[in-house]
Chains A and B, each alone.
Chain A
Amino acid sequence: MKTYKLIIYTVLLLMITSCDKAEFLDKKPSASLVVPTKLEDFRRLLDNTNIFNFTGGLAQMSGDDYYMENAQYMAGITTQRNAYIWAKDIYIGEGPVADWFQLYREVFYANAVLDGLGKSSEIETAEGQYIKGWALFARAYAFYDLARGFCKSYDAATANQDLGIPLRLTASIDYTADRGTLQKTFDQILGDLATAEPLLPTTRQEFYQNRPSKVALYALLARIYLDMRNYTEAESYADKCLNTYNQLIDYNTVNKTTLNPFLTPNDELIYNVSQVAAYSSFTNASAAATGAKVLPQLIATYSDNDLRKVLYFTKLVDNTYTKKNGYYGFGSTYPFTGLATDEVYLIKAECLARRNQTQTALTTLDQLLVKRWNPGATNPSKPYQNAVASTPEEALSLILLERRKELVWRGLRWYDLKRLNKSGANITLTRTVNGNTYSLPPNDLRYVFPIPDDEILLSGIQQNLR
């Protein structure tokens, strides 16, 4: 009898005490699940290159690097077709709009890291500080991409009236941010970057080029200030960047036959970013005749000794050109839109030219161009000739042309058009599709992309006038 009593008591006891209840129920439902609380968790969020390191694609589609043949144009989706012809309404309900949603997703992730880090005791460690700087940098990068696409060109005179973008600063989803002013937007971006500066490592990321450094931060600030037409600051940050890191690739060493001439990481790459995957048939580098073709007028500007012509483009049998893959490696055919030293050289040269430092400007340009030159490409061979300009204006237009040629397909041309027209460049774009001609006059309202329909519907923020 005792045996059975023992069994019953044992079973009872086992049921009650076999495990600590809290510990038992704290087992994670999935081994891979985590509430991010540790620095490693935050780093894993920021390292997620399926989320981060993207910029929008509307700018490339609306820009004048390329043209579409009718059949390929017709095969595009609504957003692609309308962006190409600068239609008043681009999406016509099509969504989600990657340019908006994916960028705000980056903001959400960065905010999740910043929120979590704020509650972490490890925030003051060196690694904690770096992650904070990284998240701020990533958020600023995303905010800036949103601002340049969905807002007017920055103009110090009107920035306090112009509409900005919703500035979401926490990962909570139970509130709606309104647009605020463009000034507030830029204050936030520049403020975040100022906070991030001391937290980021000085040296460029050699391998993990999805991670920022001071070099990347300076390159980004140079780009932003250039866009704001604050050429003094732009030059100052370009210098800061190049003083730390100024490597250029000698294009003579690059494989000319492959469709992926540039490796990742490579020596010029400072911070790796690509265009969103959406809209790829209008934006992708592609050797096939399936997608975008390089504008012939643009091709015509490259000399035969210019290695960029063979390294950037593929000539098809019908003598049209398509784009090869750029600095963004890793198998992606999505265009590279990140930061690289060549752009910083060009920013510096432009700023110098704008303050009439013609010769220094041209020297800076030569530093870049000599690396793009193959004297032996022609017979007889043709050594590189230093750039010459008799006036600062001439130097500037030379630099701007080289900027266009060097930074082709980087998603920058559209914003250059926006900026340069604002300074009176007076460039009108025209396109012909199926016999209809479309044109976009300088400073047209359509240089500002419309906010996606679902955003307007769900948050009620103000739409842009187009």
Chain B
Amino acid sequence: MNLNLHYKQGRPRHALHKFLLVMKLVIILITTAILQVSAGTYAQTITLNRTNVPLEKVMKEIRQQTGYDFFYDLKLIKNAKHVNINVKNASLDEVLDKCFAGQSLTYKIGDKVVMIKEKAPSFLDKVVQVFQSIDVKGRVVDEKGNPLPGASIKVKGTDVTAISDASGAFFLAAVDEKAVLVISFIGYEVKEVNVGQDLGDVALSIAVGELNEVEVSTGYQTLNKERATGAFVQISNSLINRSVGTNILERLDGITSSLIFPKSSNIGAPRSSIEIRGRSTLFSSAEPLVILDNFPYEGEYNNINPNDVESITVLTDAAAASIWGARAGNGVIVITTKKGKLNTKPQVNFTGIVNIGDKPDLYYTPRLTSEQYLEVERFLFDRGAFNTIINNGYGALSPAVELMLANRNGTLNATDYAAGIERLKGMDSRVQQLKYQFRTSVNQQYQASVSGGGTNQKYFLSAGYDKNLNSDVNSNNDRVTLNANNTYFLLNNKLEINAGIILTAAKNQGLGVGVGFNYPYTQIADENGNPLVVANVLRPSYATTAGNGKLLDWLYCPLDEINNRYSTLTSTLMDYRINTSLSYKILKGLKASAYYSYSRGNSESRKLDKVESYYARNEINKLAQINPATGAVFNPLPVGGILETMSSNIVSHNGRFQLNYSHEWKRHEINLLSGTEIRTTDNPGVGGNIFYGYNPDNSTNRNAAVNTNVDYPLFYGSSTSRLVFQPNIFENNNRNLSYYFNSSYSFDAKYIASISVRRDESNLFGVSTNQKGVPLWSAGVAWNVDKEAFYSFDLLTKLKLRASYGYTGNVNNNISAYLTADSQNNSPYGLVVSNIINPPNPSLTWEKVKNLNFGLDFSIKKDIVNGSIDVWSKAGVDLIGNSPIAPQTGLLQFTGNTANTLTKGLDVQLNSVNINKKIKWLTTFIYSYQRSEVTEYKVSNGSNFNVVSSNYNNPLKGYPFYALFSFKYAGLDATGNPQAILNGAPSINYAGVRNSVNRNELTYSGSAVPTSFGSLRNTIIYKGIDFSFNVTYKLGYYFRRNSLNNSTLYATAPTFTMSDYESRWQKPGDEAITNVPSLIYPTTAARTSIYQYSDVLVEKGDHVRLRDIRLGYTFNKTKYLPVRNLNIFCYVNNLGILWKANHKNIDPDAVTGLPAIRSVAFGIRMDL
């Protein structure tokens, strides 16, 4: 609020209790001023006898005796002369005259208010002398006429401010007649109006840009963005609610600069779920730190109900994020949940959304047709590839191979054989997959909330329910969320107590065992929809006869499994967090706060395979033993269901003690914040609990009958198997202690400097206590150029320059300086044994990220265009990296501080109001550019094959971490073999090509992740209609497409989802027209890899996507509806690609897997 406005107060004294008395008074004053509540009945005459006391003290006395409030600028009162006064039953005027005699100050009495001003004739004073003052009242409302409580009404050019009450009404006493009021409210455009006695309703319109007068939260404090030196991206509530996903973080996709959601690709490198300003670590967690209200959130993002979220701030540079220290290296996302508002009647909101998604596009992935696949099988069959399995008598064969075998054995004549093959040719497994395995997904979200507040208490309560029926027919999720938050202001507002609880309960269900469609012609149902037997592990002919009927049915009917849900995987999640805080204003400007948060999450999963399930039947039969003499069946694994359970808990305690101090004098303002924080996160759990012979009807199991010390021979083959039901107990514990200090200084509101220092200590393992800490710091400066006297550039109404520098860090608790081992009990002798998980590494240190940021915030012509531009660099130093190491050490790779990276980038956000009439057209443009490079990698890399297949393991210096390298392809030789460049010439020496370390024999295409990305969002508002659509783009990157792969096509468990089968080399001469190698049998992995990793398969990833369209209509409060406000909308997501660089019909976001499902949502939001 109005920070420059001060009330009468006591001079600082040394005795604490006196301070507290004063504070109490100040609070009363603030409260009364804000709420415009009358101070009560006071004597109107004054009796005073003081000698040589500060003016402030006298004003306090007067305040006590009269009830008049004093408004003054702190700068003025500081140098006032001390006062001698002796009056009895004097009037206010009389007393004040005496006090101000000889002062360079003067006063003016208003309605219960005394304004103190400079006497020296300033411009303002001249104005004041000219005008008479009037009292002003009015009401602040939104475009629909709803009141806006808490709006700020400021007299322009002064520090006089009022705040609107619950009904939006405000009142200002003794305002100059010709003054202008500046009315602002977060999220709305600032409005200036000329004063009048009754202004009536002043309507504010929703702000088009998110950058105006925004407050940003760091999780430790809330800053006015104008006074911040760091780089923040603020996502408003309306923007969060523009999309409809049930996962809060996913709603940031496509609307937030500097942030990208990595999508499926085939680079194999580790990716985090969200990347903020690139990747500044190699192998430590690259996940950003998520703060929910005050503390890090360790649970599943899915447990946060987006409808409970008020706003999100993304902290990107050091000045913004380094307050989070060692965990801030990957950026910080601060989520602030909704709270009540003081002096507000109960407000009830309801949201309901139904989102309907298409079935997955199975036809997207290229694959061999059934006919082509049959050709392959025939080829392999003729070369004896299946003989091993045929001879063992039990191994599964594909339906086609069964036909070929029967034909070869003479049990199937040529005509029937041909007919059989012909039948298979006509089948396409996808038809049945879409019919039996997938459905249209339906997600429903409902949320109701009530919020409000009185004079010293505010509250927010909400309940949400989500129900998702996913595209997999047996997969669904339910989620219930409850959120309650209550804040009390006690002891005359000196003490603020907050308590809240957020609770989430979720349940996910799915099939326990996936249904495989192993061949392109696999059929799981006949023409009448009856289940068909599918060969899985065993040949049906074997499965039917094995055990002569003494075993459980051994046939596999996937459709039965789907329809009857024989195998289910159910996971339940329960997560709650209790937040409490206590803050106390000790002195003017000094506040002490204590926070405590307790959260507990529990997740349990149960995989139940009923006795009817193929999984259970197979497990039981596999071990069954039939006594050849008696025919008696012994089942080492008791007949019954198999239940596997896993549970994991996360318990976190967070405590924080913090002091805030702010002080202003003259043109200076200083804000200090210092605190200490303690965190413990424990993550105990139990896995691998297996119950054999489980009967779900009465929850009994027969583990007592299981012998875990015997190797039972399998019913087929020569392997043996041991039964295990030993639970595996694990517990992870994180301990953190942090100390932090943050300060900012501003001069004249023009020049701002900030500094932040933090030390983090954690229970890094095997490191002595004094090495467990890392000190990190940052500093920033900002210059509000537009506030300079010389600045008179009308076009650019706002101009702010920012610069920051500093360090953030990454935590990697997985490695240690000492040789460490972990224990497990998987010894065949039943012993507890240990694995070495970390070799000795005496030189281990923390990973650090050095951040540099230059920013520019601007606004053109009253926000017709506003925006920000940030240029940044992030240098990862001492990053933990893998290095290949001579195998004689006993390791294949070594992990240590072996790497440095440097990422440079640019983030731009522009908001423009293209038309601002009855019809409004708004545009937001986001552009992020980032270029990364591994600048140091201490140990040399392996072969060229390592580079092309997994450069991320040992990234090459001078290239991005996500670099795409390929073999230089030299086409096919005369026999259809792929050739690559070796020693300057085409070669089929595959081992030579793979093992070469000459990097000149590689093609470097570029980054495998987008180097430029962003979005263009247009919004059109006309009356109650809002229409918007978001176009996203990703540019400047490459991907490797999948093509004909000899090795996986001919593998024992073949893959048939690949393209280019038709264009393969088939006869001499083809080498002139194709690059696709011939198929050979037996295949060699080296030959396959030359083509697979060749540069001819690299495609440009650039594309532009129509991400979503939203159409909404808001009914203004109408007499026809029993609600205050009603908004209905339709939201279509994932509409498809508008343009892409590759001509292969590949969605670069779905190089592997399927493209995101298109969905249509219908929603309603209403305020009662």
- CA distance in complex: A77, B388 (Å): 16
A333 beta carbon closer than 8 Å to chain B: yes
Shortest C-beta distance, A373 to chain B (Å), equals 26
Give chain B's interface residue range (CB within 8 Å of chain A).
35 or more
Q: Interface 1/0s, chain B 692-734, versus A by CB < 8 A?
A: 0000000000000000000101000111111000000111111
Q: Are A330 and B1086 in contact (CB under 8 A)?
A: no
A48 beta carbon closer than 8 Å to chain B: yes
Q: Which residues of B contact A75 (CB under 8 A)?
A: 385, 388, 1082
Q: Are A101 and B887 in contact (CB under 8 A)?
A: yes
B239 beta carbon closer than 8 Å to chain A: no
Q: Are A289 and B718 in contact (CB under 8 A)?
A: no
Q: Are A29 and B884 in contact (CB under 8 A)?
A: no
Q: A459 and B839 in contact (CB under 8 A), knowing A44-B821, A290-B388?
A: no
Q: Are A96 and B835 in contact (CB under 8 A)?
A: no
Q: Which residues of A contact B837 (CB under 8 A)?
A: 33
A166 beta carbon closer than 8 Å to chain B: yes
Q: Are A30 and B890 in contact (CB under 8 A)?
A: no
Q: Interface 1/0s, chain A 94-137, versus B by CB < 8 A?
A: 00110011001111110110011000000000000000000000
Q: A93 and B1086 in contact (CB under 8 A), knowing A33-B765, A35-B766, A47-B829?
A: yes
Q: Are A1 and B718 in contact (CB under 8 A)?
A: no
Q: A333 and B719 in contact (CB under 8 A), knowing A44-B833, A455-B887?
A: yes
Shortest C-beta distance, B283 to chain A (Å), equals 16
8 A Cβ contacts from B826-841 to A: 826-829, 831-837, 839-840
Segment of B62-70, B446-454, B812-820, B1022-1030 engaged in the interface with chain A: B812-820
Q: Which residues of B contact A116 (CB under 8 A)?
A: 819
Q: Are B822 and A104 in contact (CB under 8 A)?
A: no
8 A Cβ contacts from B848-864 to A: none
Q: Interface 1/0s, chain A 289-330, versus B by CB < 8 A?
A: 110000000000000000000000010101000101100011
Q: Which residues of A contact B713 (CB under 8 A)?
A: 258-260
Nearest A residue to B655 via CB reads A15
Q: Which of A47, A289, A455 contacts B888 (CB 8 A)?
A: A455
B206 beta carbon closer than 8 Å to chain A: no
Q: Which of B819, B826, B829, B832 contacts A171 (CB 8 A)?
A: B819
Q: Which residues of B contact A7 (CB under 8 A)?
A: 582
Segment of B340-348, B566-574, B756-764 engaged in the interface with chain A: B756-764
Q: Are B890 and A93 in contact (CB under 8 A)?
A: no
Q: A32 and B823 in contact (CB under 8 A), knowing A22-B769, A93-B1086, A288-B391?
A: yes
- CA distance in complex: A316, B392 (Å): 9
Nearest B residue to A11 via CB reads B594
A51 beta carbon closer than 8 Å to chain B: yes
Q: Which residues of B contact A14 (CB under 8 A)?
A: 655
A72 beta carbon closer than 8 Å to chain B: yes
- CA distance in complex: A4, B1086 (Å): 75
Q: Which residues of A contact B20 (CB under 8 A)?
A: 1
Q: A173 and B1086 in contact (CB under 8 A), knowing A453-B995, A454-B942?
A: no
Q: Are A457 and B763 in contact (CB under 8 A)?
A: no
8 A Cβ contacts from A16-44 to B: 16, 18-19, 21-22, 24-36, 41, 44
Q: Which of A1, A100, A258, A330 contacts B828 (CB 8 A)?
A: A330
Shortest C-beta distance, B777 to chain A (Å), equals 21
Q: Interface 1/0s, chain B 760-797, versus A by CB < 8 A?
A: 01111110010010000000000000000000000000
Q: Are A48 and B388 in contact (CB under 8 A)?
A: no
Nearest A residue to B731 via CB reads A31
Most B CB contacts (10 A, CB to CB) among A21, A32, A287 go to A32
Q: Are A30 and B836 in contact (CB under 8 A)?
A: no
B273 beta carbon closer than 8 Å to chain A: no
- CA distance in complex: A176, B995 (Å): 22
Q: A96 and B834 in contact (CB under 8 A), knowing A15-B678, A112-B819?
A: no
Q: Which residues of A contact B831 (CB under 8 A)?
A: 44, 47, 208
A45 beta carbon closer than 8 Å to chain B: yes
Q: Are B834 and A48 in contact (CB under 8 A)?
A: yes
Shortest C-beta distance, B823 to chain A (Å), equals 5
8 A Cβ contacts from A326-363 to B: 329-331, 333
Q: Are B834 and A36 in contact (CB under 8 A)?
A: yes
- CA distance in complex: A32, B730 (Å): 7
Q: Which residues of A contact B839 (CB under 8 A)?
A: 108, 171, 173
- CA distance in complex: A168, B888 (Å): 8
Shortest C-beta distance, B229 to chain A (Å), equals 29
Shortest C-beta distance, B1002 to chain A (Å), equals 16
Q: Which of B16, B392, B836 contacts A45 (CB 8 A)?
A: B836
Q: Which of A1, A28, A454 contacts B765 (CB 8 A)?
A: A28
B945 beta carbon closer than 8 Å to chain A: yes
Q: Are A49 and B889 in contact (CB under 8 A)?
A: no
B886 beta carbon closer than 8 Å to chain A: yes
- CA distance in complex: A78, B997 (Å): 21
Q: Which residues of B contact A330 (CB under 8 A)?
A: 711, 722, 828
Chain B interface secondary structure, helix, strand, loop or mixed? mixed
Q: Are A71 and B385 in contact (CB under 8 A)?
A: yes
A161 beta carbon closer than 8 Å to chain B: no
Q: Are B718 and A259 in contact (CB under 8 A)?
A: yes
Q: Are A93 and B991 in contact (CB under 8 A)?
A: yes
Q: Which residues of B contact A458 (CB under 8 A)?
A: 884-887
- CA distance in complex: A325, B718 (Å): 8
A177 beta carbon closer than 8 Å to chain B: yes
8 A Cβ contacts from A62-101 to B: 70-72, 74-75, 77-78, 89, 92-93, 96-97, 100-101
Q: Are A290 and B392 in contact (CB under 8 A)?
A: yes
Q: Are B943 and A168 in contact (CB under 8 A)?
A: no
Q: Are A173 and B718 in contact (CB under 8 A)?
A: no
Q: Are A36 and B819 in contact (CB under 8 A)?
A: yes
Shortest C-beta distance, B656 to chain A (Å), equals 8
Q: A30 and B733 in contact (CB under 8 A), knowing A15-B657, A70-B384, A92-B1086?
A: yes
Shortest C-beta distance, B687 to chain A (Å), equals 12
Q: Are A32 and B1086 in contact (CB under 8 A)?
A: no
Q: Which of A8, A35, A290 contacts B584 (CB 8 A)?
A: A8
Q: Interface 1/0s, chain B 988-1029, versus A by CB < 8 A?
A: 000100110100000000000000000000000000000000
Shortest C-beta distance, A95 to chain B (Å), equals 8
- CA distance in complex: A390, B828 (Å): 48
B387 beta carbon closer than 8 Å to chain A: yes
Q: A331 and B719 in contact (CB under 8 A), knowing A48-B834, A176-B888?
A: yes
- CA distance in complex: A191, B1143 (Å): 68
- CA distance in complex: A75, B380 (Å): 12
Q: Which residues of A contact B16 (CB under 8 A)?
A: 5
A374 beta carbon closer than 8 Å to chain B: no
8 A Cβ contacts from A375-403 to B: none
Nearest A residue to B1081 via CB reads A74
Q: Are A260 and B886 in contact (CB under 8 A)?
A: no
Q: Which residues of A contact B891 (CB under 8 A)?
A: 105, 108, 173
Q: Which residues of B contact A425 (CB under 8 A)?
A: none
8 A Cβ contacts from A137-188 to B: 166, 168, 171-173, 176-177
- CA distance in complex: A258, B763 (Å): 53
Q: Are A172 and B737 in contact (CB under 8 A)?
A: no
Residues of B within 8 A of A (CB): 16-17, 20, 383-385, 387-389, 391-392, 491, 495, 582, 584, 592, 594, 655, 657, 676, 678, 684, 711, 713, 717-722, 729-735, 737, 761-766, 769, 772, 813, 816, 818-824, 826-829, 831-837, 839-840, 884-892, 894, 942-943, 945, 991, 994-995, 997, 1081-1082, 1084-1086
22 interchain pairs (CB within 8 A)? A1-B20, A21-B769, A25-B735, A25-B762, A25-B769, A30-B733, A31-B729, A32-B822, A41-B821, A47-B829, A72-B388, A92-B991, A104-B887, A107-B890, A109-B890, A166-B888, A176-B886, A260-B713, A288-B717, A289-B387, A316-B391, A330-B828
New A-B contacts (16) at CB < 8 Å, excluding given A44-B823, A260-B713, A331-B720: A4-B495, A4-B584, A11-B657, A24-B763, A36-B820, A44-B832, A49-B827, A75-B388, A101-B887, A106-B890, A107-B890, A173-B885, A173-B894, A287-B718, A288-B718, A333-B718
Q: Please give me the 4 A-B residue pairs with the lowest Cβ-Cβ distance, nearest first.
A: A108-B890, A459-B886, A31-B731, A74-B1082
